[in-house]
Amino acid sequence: MTETLTAPARAEQPQQRGNLGKMLVPLALDVAAPMACYYLLHGAFGMSEVAALGVSGVIPAVRVVAGIVRDRTLNGLAGLTLAVNVAGIALSFVTGDARMMIAKDSALSAVISLFMMLSAFTARPVMTPGMRAFITRGNPVREAAWERLANTARFRRAERLFSGIWGGALLADCVARLIGAFTLPVSTMVWLSNVMLIAALVVGLLVAGAFGSGPIMWMINNETRNAR
């Protein structure tokens, strides 16, 4: 009996570690690796700010290309990320201004955030699929409850708020990083821009959870209890 109960838990552990790895690897390649590369090249080897930022910007671009080759498909976000990275690298070398490399991250955040906010006014807010997968966890009963609630006014309002709040948090991050890119030293913005992004993600998680996913989860839980 004990073996029967513990076997599924053991089976879930490798899957949980795999999911955690899938989240941490892109974060390390897009944030930690470029930052470490910049400080190593600029601080230790005396490379110019423009060159160091250009080389460090290649790392996330290569990750995106590797993902496209591996999956044999080009989705909109991957294409946008690659285009912004390549444009930022090229623009930095053409203008000789390292600040343009910092500013290009804000451009990517701006496009994504505006897309999120605009989608909140459509029938399919862009953040809904991810939220639905998290809340229902593929459970047929919870999926059925979602479908029953999907067209109610309260549910739709929370659904729209979820995408709208996330878009607003990322847009605020975009504005803050853009201001910092042209007012603060480049060496400061290399690490501060990542702090700003993390802060925006934390704010988005808390506020969108309070007004979006939290109420929806409560409605789903209540609906599943009433359906029994």
pLDDT in tens, 142-157: 999 999 999 899 999 9
Of 3, 177, 20, nearest in space to 102 by CA: 177
Q: Tell me the C-alpha distance between 223 and 95, whole Å.
A: 58
pLDDT < 70 positions in the chain: 1-31, 73-85, 87-89, 91-93, 95, 227-228
pLDDT per residue over 119-178, tens digit each? Answer: 999 988 988 988 998 899 889 999 999 999 998 999 999 999 999 999 999 899 989 999
**Given this model, what pLDDT does residue 210 score?**
95
Alpha helices in 42-185 (DSSP H): 49-71, 76-95, 99-119, 128-136, 140-149, 153-183
Of 36, 37, 49, nearest in space to 187 by CA: 49
- Tokens 């053991």 correspond to what residue? 10
**Given this model, what pLDDT does residue 88 score?**
66
For residue 161 the two structure tokens come to 């708020």
Going by C-beta distance under 8 Å and a sequence separation of 6 or more, which residues neighbour residue 132? 146
**Given this model, what pLDDT does residue 26 score?**
60
